[in-house]
Amino acid sequence: MIIDYNSNGLTGFHAEEFPEAPDFAVELTSSEFGFNLTYRVQSLAITMEWSWLKATDTEIRSWTVSDVPRGTLQEPYYDSDQGWNVMIWEMGDHVYVAEGEGDWDEDRDSNTYTMWFKVPRGLHDRAWVAALNRLRVG
């Protein structure tokens, strides 16, 4: 999937092409190399492992749901590292997630996304709150 991101925001995608993730889960664990963040959607056979998080241990442990990675249609959250990229934005009652593995569309001068899904906003927030609470306790 090609999603264009220009001065007007995101274009070139159709919301109905994003499958719903009714069992979205966030795993946030600490290791000697930093934090590991994984999004899982078992019903869609999706495991999305983030390459790395730029926030420190102390920062992440103090996060609230308003600090988690997501943006808007006009200014989506975007991150990339060594050929991996992710874009996350809210639209309506959903949070949309698109992940790519570094394939570049030369004709459109844009990333190609290989996995995408949408999560009801309430479920997205609950999954993040649960992951942050587990991190603080464990």
Q: What digits encode the pLDDT tens for the residues 3-57?
A: 766 666 677 788 999 999 999 999 987 777 677 889 999 999 999 988 666 666 6
Q: Counting beta carbons within 10 angstroms of the beta carbon of residue 15, is it exposed (0 to 12), middle (13 to 18) or buried (19 or more)?
A: exposed
Q: What digits encode the pLDDT tens for the residues 81-98?
A: 777 888 999 999 999 999
Residue carrying the six token digits 């927030």:
125
The total of structural domains in the chain comes to 1
CA angle 65, 114, 26 (to 5 degrees): 25
3 state DSSP class of 37: strand
pTM to 2 decimal places: 0.87
Whether the Cβ atoms of residue 88 and residue 95 lie closer than 8 Å to each other: yes
- Domain limits at 93? 4-137
Q: What is the largest CA-CA distance in the chain?
A: 49
What's the per-residue H, E or C state across 2-15? ECEEECCEEECCCH
